Structure 1
Amino acid sequence: MSRSPPLENNMKWGLVFGAVLAFNGAAHADSIPRYDPPSYCSKVSEVSGGSRTIYNGCLSMEQEAYDTLKSSWGQIAESAKSYCDEVARSSDSSYSILKGCIDMEADASSSEPEFRY
């Protein structure tokens, strides 16, 4: 019975592991980021003295933004997804901010201003 040298086995496992990571990374890139809307909305509400009206409105806005993004996420440019996710995370991870950024990126991509001298 012949045995593969240890280096060859390690290379095989490395390739398998790398393929699994690449597949999971590709699948993850196509899924909408996971934020924590209740935590975000609690922070927003705290700014206004802990208002439940503000919290409930915030949570409704986050849900609406998430639902809209979820249905169109696959059609959004990867560069916009990446950039806008960074923007949203820097603002305590808000789907409303993510959606607003994606909308602005789409608008900017569809019309390029002309510079005039």
Structure 2
Amino acid sequence: MMARAACLAGFVAFSASKVLAAPVPPFDTATYCAEVAEAVGGSYSIEAACLDRESKARQMIESREIEPRILSYCAQVSEAVGGSFSIMSTCIDREERAKAKIQN
């Protein structure tokens, strides 16, 4: 029992040092995609593709370990352009590559 408690304590300590799942901002994807579609003449095809892309990007963000600094910055960038998970995901990818480049 004692070994099990020590193992659990170690796991909790390790988990607390990493972001296990990214808390994503509550972007209004339906409104964002409707506005994107309207910007190009009201295309239903564009709106449907946007909704699909945004859903996939949100799922990808939620499943990743993302440094809080990168998450916060990319959420702000995404909010500035209307709240896009796709833009946020691209931002995260670029920030992580830039961080790795700096650290190497």
Q: How many residues align?
A: 83
Unaligned residue ranges in structure 2 (runs of 5+): 1-21
| CA shift for structure 1 position 113 | 9.2
Flag the structure with larger Rg. 1
Q: Give CA deviations for 1:55-103 in whole Å, capped at 9, x if unaligned.
A: 000001001100101111xx20111011111100000000001101001
Residue of structure 2 in register with 1:22 after alignment:
none
Compare relative contact order (CA 8 Å, sep 6+) and give the higher one, 1 or 2.
Answer: 2
TM-score under structure 2 length normalisation: 0.75
Given candidates 81, 97, 102, the residue that maps to 1:107 is 97
The 5-angstrom pairing of residues 34-113 of structure 1 reads 34-72=26-64, 75-112=65-102
Unaligned residue ranges in structure 1 (runs of 5+): 1-29
Q: Matches of 2:54 and 2:47 in 1, distance apart? A: 10
The runs of at least 4 aligned residues of structure 1 exceeding 4 Å deviation read none
SS at match of 1:34: coil
